Amino acid sequence: AQSVTQPDIHITVSEGASLELRCNYSYGATPYLFWYVQSPGQGLQLLLKYFSGDTLVQGIKGFEAEFKRSQSSFNLRKPSVHWSDAAEYFCAFLAPSGGYNKLIFGAGTRLAVHP
């Protein structure tokens, strides 16, 4: 079955600390991968995406993610977290088959940042 797993429902870090949010996917081939962020009361904003090529991708707001095919993972990282990063983060993938564009989302990881 096609699915995305985000093992951590809640994560709390101190401001200035590093961050890694985990994401694993289940799919028979290499999917297109995304990380979205949702601030309270807001829509989803695209942080970064992986379609092909370099497995380390840079995104907005200082985020990066690394695609590891052997581990079916696409973990999100940030070297130094800011208080404004507190939000919910969703990993998603696009199964590029059937000619359509359905995004499959993980359950999300809620990030809290302590001052």
Partner 1 sequence: DSGVTQTPKHLITATGQRVTLRCSPRSGDLSVYWYQQSLDQGLQFLIQYYNGEERAKGNILERFSAQQFPDLHSELNLSSLELGDSALYFCASSALASYNEQFFGPGTRLTVL
Q: Where do contacts with partner 1 occur on this chain (CB under 8 A)?
A: 32, 34, 36, 42-46, 49, 51, 90, 92, 94, 96, 98-108
In the bound state with partner 1, the residue whose beta carbon lies nearer, of 13 and 22, is 22
Closest distance between partner 1 and the C-beta of residue 11, in Å? 17
Residue 88 three-state SS: strand
In the bound state with partner 1, the residue whose beta carbon lies nearer, of 98 and 115, is 98
Label the pairing between strands 10-14 and 109-114: parallel
Compute CA distances 115 → 15, 21, 28, 63, 86, whole Å.
5, 19, 42, 20, 11
In the bound state with partner 1, the residue whose beta carbon lies nearer, of 62 and 96, is 96
